[in-house]
Structure 1
Amino acid sequence: MSRAFYHDYPDILQLEADVLDARPGAVLIERSPFFPGGGGQLADRGTLRWSGGTLPVTELGRDERGLWHMFPGDALPSGKVVLEVEPAFRALMCELHTLAHVINALVYTRFGGALLTGAQLNADGTFRVDFDLPGADNEGLRALEAPLNDVIRRDLPVSASFMAHADAQAIPGLFRSKAVAPPVGDDGLVRIVEIFDLDRQACGGTHLASTGLARPARIVKIDNKGRQNRRIKIAV
């Protein structure tokens, strides 16, 4: 997997690019600003414009050659196309994903290095994160709402860098999930997202430039999911 365009140029949401391959209802593009989804984050929404008109991008799929963009119907775009990501939806996913990292950091540091067992960001402005927390006090988890909003008020910068995968694996706490890990690039690097003075972990998703760009958040529910898992649902 080569370096993703949306990692290097997160603020570019419109891009002209060449079609590499096509089949009815889908095209493979040389490069794309679209985030394809993964790690609990929903794929970007947007459009594909070409000489034959404008099509909504309804699904994205990756293979060894790059990113396929799917759309309704059986059109076969060719030549150059213009890809445009919907800004409001991208901004929402960035907001929720950044807040998910904040709550992850708070749980990790305050509950003995508890690992993530699942996550899902939603289009309605909510998200949930699941942790391996047998015997955890649910009221203690609910009390994380105050420090979560304090991090928003502090407006901490969020940055990203790349590190050799082997080096990242040797650093405790960079990988927080029991089940999944961010993809490793063809260059052997993995992306590390850092919230200044709070958190640093491997992640392939999109994020805000600082925590202060997020809206106030509230913990709406704590669920016991089996003997070990605790689910925290948060809304903005």
Structure 2
Amino acid sequence: MATELLYRDDAYLREATATVLAAGPEGVLLDRTPFYAQAGGQPGDAGLLRWEGGETPILKAVKGPEDTVLHLAAEGAALPPVGAAVSASLDWTLRHRHMRMHTALHLLCSLIPGAGVTGGQIGADRSRLDFDLAAPPAKDWLTEQLNALVAADHAVGERWIAEAELDANPGLVRTLSVQPPRGAGRIRLVRIGPEAAPVDLQPCGGTHVRGTAEIGRLEVTKLENKGKQNRRVYLVLAGE
């Protein structure tokens, strides 16, 4: 049974009730969850599971078999009994930083059009993207442009398209190392800006803020040469 991904409908949902389907050393399996499972460079959520008579901290959520999400508790921690009703609550401070960072990386991607993304990692304190590029723009220019996009408070939205529509528009996929998951018949597109003239539009399964102003001030802190055509760009949430 696939886990119902509640964050797909509401990335701001901080807590939800669920039923325990399985619990063991490999993790706790729930029928539904607000926890994002680690994927696409975005870390899995941390938080807490509470049930009648107990609770346990969750260190990270990861993907399990057959479209499930496993909630990983600390070694030796108490686990809820199968069939129990639990309250699953996020470490919201951490999740929200990941949402801000993830949306910021989409903005960064929009400033380097035409260059494939060869890798990336979202972090609470620092994030990065790697571009198939001979030379990236200057740090100061990227910082200035990013903050202009943030200040413009572009709306962030999503829509679903058929896989065939993505096949007809391969330029929507910026990532070279990771392709959008297929098999379900549809692909989720995340859009920043208006539908008619988006700032950024690409397939993505992660969580994002509702508007770019929520990201806060950004700073590009470092550019690295990681190979002949691989340039790494680091950014942070400035002043935090």
TM-score (norm 1): 0.90
**Shift in Å, 1:52:** 3.2
- SS of the residue corresponding to residue 33 of structure 2 reads coil
Q: Kindly provide the CA deviation profile for residues 139-178 of structure 1, in whole angstroms up to 9, marking residues without a partner as x.
A: 5465222111110110000001111122113214311111
Q: Does 1:37 align with 2:46?
A: no
Alignment match of 1:63 (pick from 62, 65, 69): 65
**Shift in alpha-carbon separation, 1:169–1:25, aligned structure 2, 3 A:** closer
Q: Equivalents in 2 of 1:55, 1:101: separation in Å? A: 34
Q: Does 1:85 align with 2:107?
A: no
Deviation at 1:233, TM superposition (A): 0.7
In 1: Cα distance, 2:10 partner to 2:102 partner:
18
Tell me the secondary structure at the aligned position of residue 144 of structure 1.
helix
**Could you tell me which of 185, 192, 217 is aligned with 1:195?**
192
Q: Tell me the amino acid that sits aligned with residue 130 of structure 1.
A: D
Whether 2:103 is the aligned partner of 1:106: answer: no
Deviation track 1:8-66 (CA, whole Å, cap 9, x = no partner) reads: 12221111111112224622100100001111111111011112312111132321152
Whether the 8 Å CA contact 2:189–2:202 is kept in 1: the answer is yes
Q: Which amino acid aligns with 2:220?
A: I
> In 1, are the aligned partners of 2:157 and 2:191 still within 8 Å (CA)?
yes
Show the counterpart of 2:51. Answer: 50
What percent of counterpart residues are identical? 37
CA distance in 2, matches of 1:165, 1:217: 34
Taking the aligned partners of 1:235 and 1:55, their CA distance within structure 2 comes to 31
SS in 2 for 1:63: coil
Q: Is the alpha carbon distance of 1:139 and 1:200 closer, same or farther for their aligned partners in structure 2, counting shifts above 3 Å?
A: closer
Q: C-alpha distance in 2, partners of 1:149/1:65?
A: 37
The structure-2 alpha-carbon separation of the partners of 1:163 and 1:29, relative to structure 1 and needing over 3 Å to count, comes to same
Query: Higher mean Cα deviation, 218-227 or 75-84?
Result: 75-84
Question: Is contact 1:26-1:69 (8 Å) kept?
Answer: yes
Counterpart amino acid of residue 91 in structure 2: E
- In 2 relative to 1, CA 144–151 (structure 1 residues): closer, same or farther, beyond 3 Å? same
Q: Which residue in the other structure is 1:181 paired with?
A: 179
Secondary structure in structure 2 of the residue aligned to 1:54: strand
Task: Indicate conservation of the 8 Å contact 2:3/2:31, yes or no.
Answer: no
> How many residue pairs end up in the alignment?
228
**One-letter identity of the residue aligned with 1:64:** E
Over residues 84-125 of structure 1, what are the superposed CA-to-partner deviations in whole Å (9 max), with x where a residue is unaligned?
Answer: 0111111100100000000101101xxxx100001111122x
Q: Assess if the C-alpha contact under 8 Å between 2:4 and 2:33 holds in 1.
A: no
Opposite residue 70 of structure 2, the aligned amino acid is W
CA RMSD of aligned residues (A): 1.8
| Stretch deviating more after TM superposition (5-14 or 149-158) | 5-14
Which deviates more from structure 2 when the two are superposed, residues 94-103 or residues 78-87? 78-87
Runs of 5+ in structure 1 lacking a partner?
Answer: none
Structure 1 residue ranges, 4+ long, deviating more than 6 angstroms after superposition: none
Alpha-carbon separation, structure 1, partners of 2:205 and 2:67: 19
Displacement of 1:216 in angstroms is 1.0
The answer to whether residue 160 in structure 2 is matched with residue 159 in structure 1 is no
CA distance in 2, matches of 1:74, 1:86: 18
1:131 alignment partner in structure 2: 131
